[in-house]
Amino acid sequence: MTADKEKRRAISREAARRRRRVESDVFGDLSRLLPLQPSVRAHLDKPSVIRLTLSYIRMHTVLKENDGINAGSRHMITYQQAVEGGDEQSGCDGAQDEEEKDTEEFEASQETNMYLGILEGFVMVLSTEGDMIFLSDNVSKYMGLTQTELMGHNIFEYTHPCDHEEIRSNLRLTAEEVWYGEKRDFVMRIKSALTHRGRTANLKSATWKVLHCQGRAKVCVDPSAVSCLLLTCRPLPLSHTLLSRYTFTSQHSMDMRFTYCDQRVTSLLGYRPEELLGRSIYDLCHALDTSCLNKNHLNLCLKNQSVSGQYRMLVKGGGYVWVESHSAVIPSVRPSRSRPGIPQPLCILSVTYVLSGVEQPSLQLSLDQTIHRYLN
């Protein structure tokens, strides 16, 4: 009887091999339908093929409603043409040759790179379950991992555990919120396999990178697709170009009291830098903005970097201005090479942009702004 068994086993092994071959073929077919570079395609394993297929299908669903816009934009003039053309708008919708179309698409890709370059970040499409459906390919510049390595995976695998709750609450969307394209704005920490010099390292030595994510909810037309968030993710700290008049820098102790402020604050807020030393920023803001600053402060304590969003700072003597602050935690002393192990005392460095003029200058809202000072 064993011979029989042997025979049966052989048959089943053969059948299994055939199945696997057929399966591999189908996987191959699938991978060739994906818009990938040949070198990337060759190294994909089966789960990755499915992952990327899923992303591809989902992105089509996400973009479906853009079809109308796309048709028109296909012939959109490039900025180069616009520069040359100046006042005359050459017929945008004129028929174009194939060649022109090719060059146009080529330029379009330049344009896209430009967009992403301007934004100083990458684009992420996130499902409400946290799957990173799509990432623009410049994600490798920020995370050290390529688009194809990351797409389809879940964001919770790559972000700091302490931020998961916050991410989850940002992913929660009611149907109404999705319909109206509800906005999102939050800061999270993500793994980065980049070294300081910009090289890609092993994920084993991944560091945390702070990302500022802004975007909105997106309706997905196809009922089989989940709704999702469209986000631009920019690593903090942002670079700041300081041009004299409308920004000022300040330093704070970790409790947000001023320890230093540059002179420009005087022309913008009326205070001399000395007057601000030791004062808490919470005293100097409008009461309606307390929670905004609180959130900013918490982000700084936990994630070391933050963008405040817009809030009002009270001007000396009356009125207020709208401002936005970009802050980071830095060592307050020059890190000395001779004492590497010693923890540095920290402080907060802020760059504050003034967004508006002084509003309601005669209106005194806070005790500080009034002339009379009460004791105690």
Partner 1 sequence: VNVTFEQQVDDVLVEEEQSTSVSLPSLMTPPSAAGMSLSVELTRKRKGSVDNQDSKCVSVPDVDMEDDQNRYKDQHVKVKCFREPHSQIEKRRRDKMNNLIDKLSAMIPTCNPMSRKLDKLTVLRMAVQHLKSLKGSASSFSEANYKPSFLPDEELKHLVLKAADGFLFVVGCDRGKIVFVSESVTKILNYSRAELIGQSLFDYIHPKDMGKVKEQLSASELYPRERLIDAKTGLQVQADLPIGAARLCSGARRSFFCRMKYNKISIKVEEKESQGNVLLESQKYCTVHCTGYMRSWPTSQLGAEGEGEVDKQESSHFSCLVAVGRVHNHSSPQVNGEVRVKPTEFITRYAMDGKFTFVDQRATTILGYLPQELLGTSCYEYFHQDDLPHLADRHRKVLRSKEKIETNCYKFKTKYGSFVTLQSQWFSFVNPWTKELEYIVSTNTVISYDPSRAGRSGNKSEQSSNPKASEDCKKSPPIIPGISSTPGTMIYAGSIGTQIANELLDFNRTNSSPSSGNVSPFSLPQDKSPQIHNQISNSVPNGETSDMEIPGKSSSESEPQGAAFSGGETLMENSQLDLESVVGPGLNSLSSDEAAMAVIWSLLETDTNLGEAVDFEEMHWSL
Residues 25-64 contacting partner 1, CB under 8 A: 26-27, 29-30, 33-38, 43-48, 50-51, 53-61, 63
Q: How far apart are CA 369 and CA 320, in angstroms?
A: 11
Q: Which is nearer to partner 1, 7 or 240 (CB)?
A: 240
How far is residue 296 from each of residues 19, 78, 185, 259, 350, measured CA to CA in Å?
A: 57, 39, 12, 18, 11
Q: How far apart are CA 279 and CA 54, in angstroms?
A: 54
Nearest approach in angstroms of CB 5 to partner 1 is 23
Crossing angle of helices 2-32 and 46-63, rounded to 10°: 40
Nearest approach in angstroms of CB 16 to partner 1 is 13
Asked whether position 215 contacts partner 1 by CB under 8 A, the answer is: yes
Asked whether position 219 contacts partner 1 by CB under 8 A, the answer is: no
Residues in a beta bridge with 330: 347
How many Cα atoms sit within 13 Å of 319 on the Cβ side?
14
Those residues whose C-beta lies under 8 Å from the C-beta of residue 205, and which sit 6 or more positions away, are 193
Site map for partner 1, 105-134, x if CB under 8 A? xx-xx-xx-xxxxxxx--x-x--------x
Asked whether position 317 contacts partner 1 by CB under 8 A, the answer is: no
Q: Which is nearer to partner 1, 2 or 37 (CB)?
A: 37
Nearest approach in angstroms of CB 3 to partner 1 is 29
Asked whether position 364 contacts partner 1 by CB under 8 A, the answer is: yes
Number of shown-chain residues binding partner 1 (CB under 8 A): 181
Candidate ranges 7-15, 248-256, 266-274; the one touching partner 1 (CB under 8 A) = 248-256
Site map for partner 1, 281-310, x if CB under 8 A? -xx--xxxxxxx-xx-xx--xxxxx--xxx
Q: Which is nearer to partner 1, 7 or 18 (CB)?
A: 18
Binding test (CB under 8 A) with partner 1, winner from 136, 140, 227, 325? 136
CB-based contact 192:220 (threshold 8 Å): no
Nearest approach in angstroms of CB 2 to partner 1 is 26
Q: Which is nearer to partner 1, 227 or 305 (CB)?
A: 305
Asked whether position 237 contacts partner 1 by CB under 8 A, the answer is: yes
Binding test (CB under 8 A) with partner 1, winner from 139, 220, 256, 313? 256
Asked whether position 216 contacts partner 1 by CB under 8 A, the answer is: yes
Asked whether position 22 contacts partner 1 by CB under 8 A, the answer is: yes
Q: How far apart are CA 291 and CA 174, in angstroms?
A: 23
Q: How far apart are CA 111 and CA 315, in angstroms?
A: 42
The 10 Å Cβ neighbour count of residue 124 is 24
- DSSP characters for 133-168? EEE-TTHHHHHSS-HHHHTTSBGGGTB-GGGHHHHH
Which residues, 139 to 158, sit near partner 1 by CB under 8 A?
145, 147-149, 151, 153-154, 156-157
Residue whose tokens read 């012939």? 75
Q: How far apart are CA 13 and CA 351, in angstroms?
A: 68
Those residues whose C-beta lies under 8 Å from the C-beta of residue 315, and which sit 6 or more positions away, are 269, 270, 321, 358, 361, 369
Report strand pairing: 228-235 vs 122-127.
antiparallel
Nearest approach in angstroms of CB 9 to partner 1 is 20
Asked whether position 243 contacts partner 1 by CB under 8 A, the answer is: yes
Which residues, 319 to 358, sit near partner 1 by CB under 8 A?
322, 324, 328-331, 334-335, 343-344, 346-347, 349, 351, 353, 355-357
